[in-house]
Amino acid sequence: MNWARHERLELADLFATVGPDAPTLCEGWKTRDLAAHLVIRERRPDAAAGILVKPLARHTQRVQDDVAEQPWEDLVGLVRGGPPAWSPSAWEPIDRAINTVEYFVHHEDVRRAQPGWAPRTLDTGFEGDLWSRLKLGARLLVRRSPVGLALQHTDGETVRAKSGEPVVTVTGPPSELTLFVYGRQAHARVDIDASADVADQLRAARLGL
């Protein structure tokens, strides 16, 4: 199962349902901005670099703003259609590698910004895929944590994500742990084994890329 494609299509359907001006968990972005971000990430390599490279961020923002001005149906269609044939991510193994978590997190960015949201029950295969990716990337994602950190799957498997004292264990299904380490702590349904003040520090920390 290509979970990246699955989440892409689910997100496109949600975009179509909520419209271009719905809130998201991405600070300052409505759904139109998030959709434009996803489009330039796959279709405008000249602008995509600025997502991570700050000196290029101004160009990225200009391009994103231009893309966001397209008719909403067209913008959603570009998200739904995925990367163009010339893009490396059009090859399924690369699509899985770079888009599975990207589209899962952004799908939840829209879902969890809407009133009355509830966590999804994900396929066990998808949870397993997210856990495998989390084990590979957790150290980078939690590098700014103010405390030592261990991530514990609800099945008991634990990954030591950051050294330090005290060591705080955060427990949940891989999907919720993924949202937590990608900076969505306030909306992740996890258990934090720590005092209230330490838990508050961790929830307020700048986690993610």
Residue 198 maps to a domain = yes
Per-residue pLDDT of 136-175, as tens digits, reads 999 999 999 999 999 999 999 999 999 988 899 999 999 9
At residue 50, the pLDDT reads: 60
Same domain, yes or no: 75 and 161: no
Looking at residue 87, its pLDDT comes to 87
> Of 84, 111, 138, which residue is a domain's last?
111
Q: What is the mean pLDDT of residues 129-134?
A: 97
pLDDT score of 23: 97
Mean pLDDT of the chain: 92
107/140 same-domain check: no
Averaged pLDDT for residues 56-70: 83
Gap between the terminal Cα atoms of the chain? 26
Do 28 and 79 belong together in one domain?
Answer: yes
Same domain, 90 and 153: no
- How many percent of the chain have pLDDT more than 90? 79
Strands (E), the chain: 148-153, 158-162, 167-172, 191-193
At 111, the pLDDT band (50, 70, 90 cuts) reads: very high
| Residue 94 counted as domain residue | yes
Based on the fold, state whether residues 79 and 164 are members of the same structural domain: no
- Residue 169's domain is classified under what CATH number? 3.30.1050.20
Quick one: which of 206, 200, 8, 188 has its CA closest to 90?
Answer: 8
User: Does a structural domain hold residue 116?
Assistant: no
- When pLDDT is cut at 50, 70 and 90, the band that residue 52 belongs to is low
Q: Are residues 72 and 171 both part of a single domain? A: no
Q: Which of 126, 112, 164 has the alpha carbon at shortest distance from 143? A: 164
How many degrees, rounded to 5, is the angle at CA 101 between CA 22 and CA 121? 75
Q: Which residues of 73-106 are buried (b: 16+ CB within 10 A; e: fewer)?
A: eebbebbeebbeeeeebeeeeebbebbbbbbbbb
- Find the domain containing 10 and state its range: 3-111
Q: Let me know the angle formed at the C-alpha of 184 by 179 and 189, rounded to the nearest 5 degrees.
A: 65
pLDDT at 48 exceeding the cut of 70: no
**pLDDT value of residue 209:** 84
Structurally, the chain folds into a number of domains equal to 2
